[in-house]
Amino acid sequence: MRTILITGCSSGIGYDAAHALAKRGWRVLATCRAEADCERLRAEGLESFRLDYTDEGSIAAAVAGLDRLDALFNNGAYACPGLTEDLPRGALREIFETNLFGYHDLTRRVIPLMRKQGHGRIVQCSSVLGIVGAEWRGAYVSTKFALEGLTDVMRLEMRGTGIDLILIEPGPIGTKIRQNSIPHFEKWIDWKTAARSADYAKLLGRLYGEKTGPDRFELPPSAVTKALIHAVEARRPKARYYVTIPTHIAGIARRLLPTRWLDWLVA
């Protein structure tokens, strides 16, 4: 039985992927940051335990007892919206701990096991915002750009080992990332005293307003799962999987357009 470890399974992309791969016969290690979510997943028939990217002990414990791991899906992440000029150092330090350092720590810990096996797939959940930037999303964008670069280098370094490094770049996807970003926004962004406090009206409406339907071009988490299945089951997986129309457009635009034209397009 093939085994995959998936992070961020409490909802959204990770939740959908865990159930879908279990139905396909994989042994799924569906991890969550909170034990209460793990209990819920265990009640649903999944093998689940706690893994928090900011807790090195939980990462070490997740890998310690494994004797086989065919695939890792690094998925858990969060956003901290706000103008970049209003992001304090602590906000960036905190988001990088989860969105990059935790990914890297877990990845490094599974590589020896995969090398011993002679094969493995490490799939990183990036974003359309790992290809192009967008206003109000500087903290999240910076982590995804860093993840893309780190994964590109590791893919080169792993050539010939049987270990594949793969990026999935979705966006937008119907998840709780917007709602989950609110506590981080409230913790770190002092928007009321910001030089551009009036400009925050639109962001506040988007954060706190009730969502009445999907965003334009938004796809469900199952669209990411479809890409993940190909990434971990295909004989020759792609190095990158674009999910949603905006991601395909961003990938082409990044390669072909001058920077100022790309800025205009994104804006």
From residue 54, alpha-carbon distances to 76, 106, 142 in Å are 11, 11, 18
The number of residues in the chain equals 267
Q: Measure the CA dihedral 218/222/226/232, to 10°.
A: 120
37, 12 contact by CB (below 8 A): no
3-state secondary structure of 122: strand
What gap in Å lies between CA 66 and CA 102, rounded to an integer?
Answer: 19
What gap in Å lies between CA 162 and CA 160, rounded to an integer?
Answer: 6
Spell out the residues 6+ positions from residue 146 whose beta carbon is closer than 8 angstroms to its own: 96, 100
DSSP line for 233-256: HSSS--SEEE-SHHHHHHHHHHHH
3-state secondary structure of 115: helix
Token pair of 34 as six digits: 């909170």
Place of tokens 């879908």: 20
Annotated active-site residue 140? The verdict is: yes
What gap in Å lies between CA 91 and CA 146, rounded to an integer?
Answer: 16
Residue 99: what residue type? Answer: N
Catalytic residue, chosen from 140, 200, 241, 242, is 140
Query: Angle at CA 179, nearest 5°, toward 76 and 73?
Result: 15
Which residues belong to the active site? Answer: 140
